[in-house]
A and B are shown apart, each in its own frame.
Chain A
């Protein structure tokens, strides 16, 4: 399969008035087209920093990041970033929120708007497109946030603990929703999480990171029966995999 993303010996140091901190050291991994990859690691190990690197928000101190075989540039139109909270703008309707990346990237054409609307319709937010975010439930808002991420047709989605702000029930169903949408749209995704079950139930590939400075500790390929995170959670092997990841983390 085609390598969409490739990190080669990426190191990131950043300066504070008191110290120089090495957040990431010699980090290397690949991500194939269509993969769902999870980054999991102890808290504070720099998981989010890895995403910021992938999003082009910061540049590595050394090493290289290749996207589709080319060096990652600052304004990469093929990326969509999704954060913990939905961060929908309360003064914009759902529809206008979904158009936001189109406006920013100056590709706000009739065709692209229609595509965004079609996503809203396909994923059950048709009646809500003229509503404001505070009129929607937490789960629907997160779904709208995902559609906003998808509206500019990115190849790679970066998900930074996108479910952690939701309560448990909503979390399971939104997790299912997001997985279904990402797979249906054939997107590649990198998920950062500290939730082992979430990582196992969603990913083709789990990258376990060490304590800071973050390095790859091990890579696991969970193979579970089931076509959705919920059904995977119910499969027999789930417990075994949970233990495996748990041991890697501790």
Chain B
């Protein structure tokens, strides 16, 4: 084999092309952001668009700074993050175990199937008034909403993953005399790890939908509250600023899950 220092000409060209492509993609990503922000700002500055309605990047930046100093932005972020993370964890953990139960017993699965179908197709926000009456107007109600929205998808994704375990691999384990717990531990759980990771990614999004929707319905704090409040008093700067903060947080949380994925793969292939 050739030494690393003696790469062929074609190889060098190929590697250079990949690197150039990457640089181009990243440059264009930033360029696009700058263009959008720039055009928006220019249009607002020259009053081509009404910045009272559409706000503008500079006003958003100013609002975020004000929020940070005067209105305790960190508290709002903290409240929303708390609701989202707790909702996410409950939905994911509970969903995983319910999916396990449904995998374990075909009878329970058949009995509960119509209920799951109905719960899945029901728009969960319709349950808003009931949730308010039952849980009041605090974080509890919002977490419940986040769990409700996330758990069905978590259950269905995981159950599909468990059920798609290779029948012949199960047969193989049975021929070794494996019982159901052994099949579960040795095969079904490790085999469905990729499904677990994609379930976590979907559930992060679902948890945000749930917590923000919950805050729209009932709340006195949080980013969803700021957005709704801003809309009601027609402060579009506040709405836009909160949305930007939300974007950053949601991306951050998704990145955490992606990091977890990389960690799991690395651990597995150690």
Contacts and interface: CB of A to CB of B under 8 A. Distances in A.
Interface of A: 55, 57, 74-77, 79-81, 83-85, 87, 89, 91, 100-101, 103-105, 132, 152, 158
A83 B186 contact: no
Given A105-B177, A132-B269, A91 B172 contact: no
A91 B176 contact: no
B174 A57 contact: yes
A79 B171 CA distance: 13
Nearest to B178: A104
Interface stretch (B24-32, B36-44, B83-91, B187-195): B187-195
Given A81-B172, A83-B172, A103 B186 contact: yes
B180 interface: no
A57 B168 CA distance: 13
B175 interface: yes
A77 B171 contact: no
Contacts of B173: 104
A171 B172 CA distance: 21
Across the A-B interface, the 3 shortest Cβ-Cβ residue pairs? A81-B175, A104-B176, A75-B177
Contacts of A101: 176
| Most chain B beta-carbon neighbours within 10 Å: one of A76, A79, A81 | A81
Contact of A152 (B174, B176, B178, B186): B176
Given A81-B176, A91-B190, A104-B176, 16 more contacts: A55-B175, A79-B175, A81-B171, A81-B175, A84-B168, A89-B169, A89-B190, A89-B191, A91-B193, A91-B268, A101-B176, A103-B186, A104-B182, A105-B177, A152-B176, A158-B175
B168 A85 contact: yes
A80 B177 CA distance: 10
Contacts of B186: 89, 100, 103-104
Contacts of B21: none
Contact of A89 (B175, B177, B187): B187
Contacts of A105: 176-177
A83 B269 contact: no
A77 B168 contact: no
A132 B190 CA distance: 15
B165 to A, nearest CB: 11
Range of interface residues on chain B? Answer: 10 to 19
Interface of B: 166, 168-169, 171-178, 182, 186-187, 190-191, 193, 268-269
A87 B171 CA distance: 10
A55 B178 CA distance: 13
A43 B184 CA distance: 33
| Most chain A beta-carbon neighbours within 10 Å: one of B169, B174, B177, B269 | B177
A72 to B, nearest CB: 13
Contacts of B190: 89, 91
A83 B171 contact: yes
Given A104-B182, A104-B186, A105-B177, A87 B269 contact: no
25 contacts: A55-B175, A57-B171, A57-B174, A80-B175, A81-B176, A83-B168, A83-B171, A83-B172, A84-B168, A85-B168, A87-B166, A87-B168, A87-B169, A89-B169, A89-B186, A89-B187, A89-B190, A91-B190, A91-B268, A100-B176, A101-B176, A104-B182, A105-B177, A132-B269, A158-B175
Contacts of B193: 91
A83 to B, nearest CB: 6
Nearest to A90: B191
B263 to A, nearest CB: 15
A158 B174 CA distance: 14
A57 B175 contact: yes
Contacts of A158: 175
A75 B175 CA distance: 8
A105 B176 CA distance: 7
Nearest to B172: A87
| Most chain A beta-carbon neighbours within 10 Å: one of B173, B176, B191 | B176
A132 B270 CA distance: 10
A81 B269 CA distance: 28
A68 B38 CA distance: 84
B264 to A, nearest CB: 11
A203 to B, nearest CB: 22
Nearest to B169: A87
A136 B248 CA distance: 44
Contacts of A132: 269
| Most chain A beta-carbon neighbours within 10 Å: one of B168, B171, B172 | B172
Nearest to B269: A132
A79 B174 CA distance: 11
